[in-house]
Amino acid sequence: MTQNISSILRLVTAATTIGAFFATSVALGDSNRVISVEEHWELQLGQPDTDRSAPQTTMVMSPNGNVDGSHFLFTLSHADAPDYRPGGMQVQLWDGEDLVDEHQWHSSTAFEHDSETVHWVQKLSLHDDTLTFSVENGESETWGQFGGEELSVSTPTTLNWLNHYRPSVSLSESQVNYAENRVGSLTLTKLVWVTEDGQVHEQNAPIPIDITLGDE
């Protein structure tokens, strides 16, 4: 996804601010061990093309400040691992450039409603040496409510906390990868994280991912 210099600077500045808030707030709590992180997202459509399964979006979330090791993808209106399939959704677990696991949601429906707004939560959680990525509380006109076990993938981990998570990874790696001109906005609206003592921390963003309008 092409971005001009001013767009990149604006995105990085906002992401750094939230990252700093994340680190500072965790340090101020009774415990500094983060055990879950939620990203709340909103996608606003323009005019989708169901026959072409357009637009298509790929979201990225990592427990670390990079995508070199374990990280997760969530695709909307398509699946692409191990093979492409139009419509529906998919969650994927990657280790660097290697696909480890994937779960496809049963629906093969593509976006079909003009000016539709889609909400969902992407969550990373640690429990009993297991790292889990899940999509929860999804709402859309096309699919209705979605999320839960069908859109969840887990992996054994040696991580002791999620304190190295950075929202800048999600903001820079996630994108509308097909038919950007059919999307109005893709926005991280809120971050929520929980420390091992049960304290819940929230930070409202909102930070839109810049979308360069172009041809399909």
Give the DSSP letter string of 117-144.
EEEEEEEEEEETTEEEEEEEEEEETTTE
Give 6: exposed, middle or buried? Use CB within 10 Å, 0-12, 13-18, 19+: exposed
Work out the pLDDT band at 115, boundaries 50, 70, 90: very high
Digit-coded pLDDT (tens) for 121-174 = 999 999 999 999 999 999 999 999 999 999 999 999 999 999 999 999 999 999
Indicate the length of the chain as a whole number: 216
What is the rounded CA–CA span in Å between residue 23 and residue 175? 25
Q: What is the mean pLDDT of the chain?
A: 87
- The rounded distance, in Å, linking the Cα atoms of 54 and 47 is 9
Q: Using CA atoms, how far apart are residues 98 and 121, in angstroms rounded to an integer?
A: 25
- What CA–CA distance (Å, rounded) separates 212 from 200? 35
For residues 105-118, average pLDDT: 92
pLDDT for 4: 41
Identify the pLDDT of residue 123.
98
Percent with pLDDT over 70 in the chain: 83
pLDDT for the residue numbered 19: 58
Residue 10, phi then psi, degrees to nearest 5: -65, -45
